[in-house]
A and B are shown apart, each in its own frame.
Chain A
Amino acid sequence: MKPEIPADQDPALSGLLRQWKVPSAMTPGFEDTVWRRIAQTQRQPAISLSLLRDWIAQTFARPSVSITYAAILLVTGVSAGFWQGHQISTHGVERVSVRYVQMMDAFEAPR
């Protein structure tokens, strides 16, 4: 097994460390780029909203989309309303039939 040499006694590593230089100067226009990016981020919601509005306007300008949208809403409204009304009606009728039996049966009649 190769014996381990402490880092401060390794001549190859010491040579490399001596050659290593940290670039101290920033690239030209670095500060402007940072500010431009910050401004861009702040403007983004407004851009998104306007994009959404444009998309809605363009989408609903197509008759096929408008008709499909209206048809889906109408069918949903009719189905939900009828289903709920039917449920209420079924339960109500069931309660009345139970009351009829209670009227007939003296031992089951509520007192």
Chain B
Amino acid sequence: MMKRAWLIILGGLAAALVAYGASYYFGSAPYRCIADSKTPELTWLQQEFHISASEFGRISALHDSYTAACAERCRQIDALNGQLQRLLAATNAVTPEIDKTLQEAARLRAECQKAMLQHFYAVSQTMPPEQGRRYFAWVTARTFGPEHPSMSSAAAAADHEHHHE
């Protein structure tokens, strides 16, 4: 009788462990599917905005073209930041060179934002209308909305307070 009881106790625990493992596997399946793909970010986009295979092909092409141009702009931003750091280290006033570099940085930022916005419009127009609207609202909230570091008034206010200290 005791043997039967132990069999039930240990068998129950083993079954619970197996059930835990199996349900964990199914519970984490959406992320595994994304993480295991070649381009997780695009796979996420496809799943999140219910994009069909043909639309996904066009969006992937737009994405590749945009990221190649974006990498070049990243290189320019890095070069400009490096130049600005060198100029700032060499003087204690706003020289014409610093002024020119700042203007160039502002121009580059505007160019980046314009290209980004054009890409978002192109991608959203490739999606089904409802999903396109949702995508555009979602992505612009994160790149142009108050959540973005460069758009945050709270961050700017904190920066100003820090300078006044």
Question: Which residue numbers of A lie inside 8 Å of B, CB to CB?
Answer: 53, 56-61, 66, 69-70, 73-74, 76-86, 88-90, 92-93, 96-97, 99-101, 103-109, 111
**Digit string of B12-34 for contact with A (CB within 8 Å is 1, else 0)?**
11011111111111111111101
Contact-size category for B: 35 or more
B contact residues around A111 at 8 Å (CB): 74, 78
Q: Majority SS of interface residues in chain A?
A: helix
List which B112-165 residues lie within 8 A (CB) of chain A.
Answer: 112, 116, 119-120, 139, 142-143, 148-150
Q: How far is the CB of B30 from chain A (nearest CB, A)?
A: 5
Question: Which residue numbers of B lie inside 8 Å of A, CB to CB?
Answer: 1-2, 4-5, 8-9, 11-13, 15-32, 34-35, 40-42, 44-45, 48, 66-67, 70, 73-74, 77-78, 109, 112, 116, 119-120, 139, 142-143, 148-150
B contact residues around A78 at 8 Å (CB): 19-20, 22-23
A96→B13 CA distance, assembly (Å):
36
Whether the pair B25, A96 counts as a contact (CB closer than 8 A) is: no
User: Among the listed B1, B32, B41, B48, which residue makes an inter-chain contact with A61, where contact means beta carbons less than 8 Å apart?
Assistant: B1
User: Among the listed A59, A70, A100, A106, which residue makes an inter-chain contact with B41, where contact means beta carbons less than 8 Å apart?
Assistant: A100
> Considering only CB atoms, which chain B residue lies closest to A66 in the complex?
B8
> Considering only CB atoms, which chain B residue lies closest to A101 in the complex?
B142
Whether the pair B8, A70 counts as a contact (CB closer than 8 A) is: yes
> Considering only CB atoms, which chain B residue lies closest to A104 in the complex?
B116
Whether the pair A81, B143 counts as a contact (CB closer than 8 A) is: no
User: Among the listed B2, B11, B24, which residue makes an inter-chain contact with A57, where contact means beta carbons less than 8 Å apart?
Assistant: B2
A75→B67 CA distance, assembly (Å):
47
A66→B76 CA distance, assembly (Å):
70
